[in-house]
Structure 1
Amino acid sequence: MIAETVCSAVSAAGLGIAVITAYRKRFLAATRIAAYSLVPVGLVMTGVVEWLADTAFSPTAWAGFGLLGLSWVMFVTTRAVERRRGGTRKERKAARAAARQEDAVAPAASAPSLGQGPRRETRPAPASRGGDDDFSDIEAILKKHGI
């Protein structure tokens, strides 16, 4: 009963604000305010407010909301773990199968012959500068900033 009264008062106040806004020749804003202020009365008339009031004081309903929240947390956690692992089990299995196919199709030229050991990919070593050269760039930056 009190919820219906509060909703009616809120709607009446909103409609009053809408009238004042329309008087100031802001008709679009006044229409929007009137639309928002009619929502509480509509909720009362459809019975949603009564249902919410009954639900708010029902321990069974709160237990149900708790279970819904728990299930949501479980869904979110499992999705996060799947993303971290790289997809679902089916996707990981398909990726392993694709990797095996690529290994089987690898050209015979890259395979080592009987007399050779496994080939190693060699990278050129980066050219190292002397110890004085390493700090010359830093010294130039510090001098530029007056340090």
Structure 2
Amino acid sequence: MLAETICSAVSAAGLGIAAVAAYRKRFLSAARIAAYALVPLGLVMTGAVDWIADTAFSPVAWAGFGVLGVAWLLFLSTRAVERRRGGRAESAGGDDVPRAVAPGASAPSRAVTAKPKAGQAAGDDFSDIEAILKKHGI
């Protein structure tokens, strides 16, 4: 009951200030003040003020807000950890192998270097590249 009375008084005062602004030929300002002044009256008429008053004095509602806050903090902290890791999930073995995005996808391909043949030295595996460069005069 007290909340409705306060909201009605605030609306009446706001409409009075809007009337003064309109008298001074500030019609745009008067319309804006009147719009703000009608909000508390509309909240009283819809019953939102009763709901807010009941929620503000309810310990169960405050506990619910606390639970929602904890859930929100958990979401934020897990998101921050994901960003810090770069999208990699923690594996049981501790290796940093990136996981596949889709469950059925294959693991990332690894570059395989060709082993030198028995009579070939380790530095000769670029011979085909050297041949192509010589062919083009580079």
Q: Does the TM-score normalized on the shorter chain lie above 0.5?
A: yes
Structure-1 residue corresponding to 2:99: 93
Say which structure is richer in helix. Answer: 1
CA deviation profile, 1:19-52 (whole Å, cap 9, x unmatched): 1111222211211111111000111111110111
**Gap regions ≥5 residues in structure 1:** 118-147
Structure-1 residue corresponding to 2:44: 44
In 2, the alpha carbon distance for the partners of 1:6 and 1:36 equals: 15
Give the counterpart letter for 1:3 in structure 2: A
Relative to the length of structure 1, the TM-score reads: 0.65
**4+ aligned runs moved over 4 Å, structure 1:** none
Give the counterpart letter for 1:94 in structure 2: A
In 1, the alpha carbon distance for the partners of 2:42 and 2:33 equals: 15
In 2, the alpha carbon distance for the partners of 1:18 and 1:68 equals: 40
Give the counterpart letter for 1:103 in structure 2: A
| 2:121 is equivalent to residue 113 of structure 1 | no
Structure-2 residue corresponding to 1:81: 81
Structure 2 residue corresponding to 1:103, chosen from 98, 104, 111: 111
Give the counterpart letter for 2:28 in structure 1: L
CA RMSD of superposed structures (Å) = 2.4
CA deviation profile, 1:96-123 (whole Å, cap 9, x unmatched): 933xx2524xxx5xx5636328xxxxxx
Structure-2 residue corresponding to 1:56: 56
Relative to the length of structure 2, the TM-score reads: 0.69
In 1, the alpha carbon distance for the partners of 2:87 and 2:18 equals: 53
Percent of residue pairs identical: 66
